[in-house]
Amino acid sequence: MPNSTIVGYARVSSVDQNLDRQLVQLKAENVEKLFIDKVSGKNLDRPGFSAMMEYVREGDVLVICSMDRLARSLMDLLDVTRKLQNKGVTIKFLKEKIELSASGETSAISKLLLAMMGAVAEFERSLIRERQQQGIALAKARGVYRGRKPVDSERLEEAKRRIASGVPKTKVAKDLKIGRTTLYKYLKN
């Protein structure tokens, strides 16, 4: 068996959020190689996640603070954990206290807990989204919701200039702190 590495993966949903709590937990687990994302987990198209998936190999242990840091949907969670186990990687979720064996010989109770906890996390996220939408609707009805402030024209012009000079759109959006969707809408008009 090749040398094994304790690999950590941490994610927050936005650049403004703080990773400190996760980093402290991962350090306590003696993580040797760390992958980080500061993007939403609504899909698996994340640079740190992709690099981690490419890096891990047979014998490695992947440590994650919580299931919802790895995937937002139960289907993605089950798919990712299966792929990792097929590569020979053991997965350890700290919050849920679940460890999935690399050999695939994970206990039936661990498999059940994974599915149940993943489903609960997905349900919880749906409830949060629903409450958020209800709150926005109520605020609009009271006339106090204005939505996000529009991006100033100077930053949008700077974005257009950088893109014209060959800088990738995603990098421009990140550098100028403009949402990718907002940037694409602006470029479309």
61-83 exposure pattern, b = at least 16 Cβ within 10 A, e = fewer: bbbbbbbbbbbbbbebbbebbee
- Residue 59 domain-assigned? yes
> Are 39 and 96 within one domain?
yes
Instruction: Say which of 13, 66, 101, 110 is annotated catalytic.
Output: 13
Residue 46 within any structural domain of the chain: yes
pLDDT band at 107 (very low <50, low <70, confident <90, very high): low
- What the block records as the tokens of 18 is 């703080």
29 shares its domain with 114: yes
Q: How far apart are CA 36 and CA 68, in angstroms?
A: 14
The verdict on 60 and 111 lying in the same domain is: yes
Residue with tokens 């590569």: 87
pLDDT of residue 106: 62
Tell which residue, 93, 41, 92, has the closest CA to residue 71: 41
- CA-nearest of 70, 66, 68, 3 to 35 is 70
Residue 110 within a domain: yes
d(CA 172, CA 73): 29
| CATH code (residue 19) | 3.40.50.1390
Kindly state whether residue 65 falls inside one of the protein's structural domains.
Answer: yes
- Structural tokens at position 78: 């089950």
Co-location of 37 and 103 in the same domain: yes
Report pLDDT for 179.
Answer: 84
pLDDT tens track for 80-104: 998 999 999 999 999 989 888 876 6
**Which amino acid, one-letter code, is at 120?**
V
Is residue 143 within 8 Å of 153, Cβ to Cβ? no
Note if 73 is an active site residue.
no
User: What element of type H or E holds 61?
Assistant: strand 61-64
Domain that holds residue 177: 153-188
Burial of 118 (0-12, 13-18, 19+ CB in 10 A): buried
State the total domains in the chain. Answer: 2
- Assigned domain for 64 exists: yes
Residue 143 lies in a domain: no
pLDDT digits (tens, 9 = 90+) for 14-62: 777 889 999 999 999 999 999 999 987 677 889 999 999 999 999 999 9
> Is 133 inside a domain boundary?
no
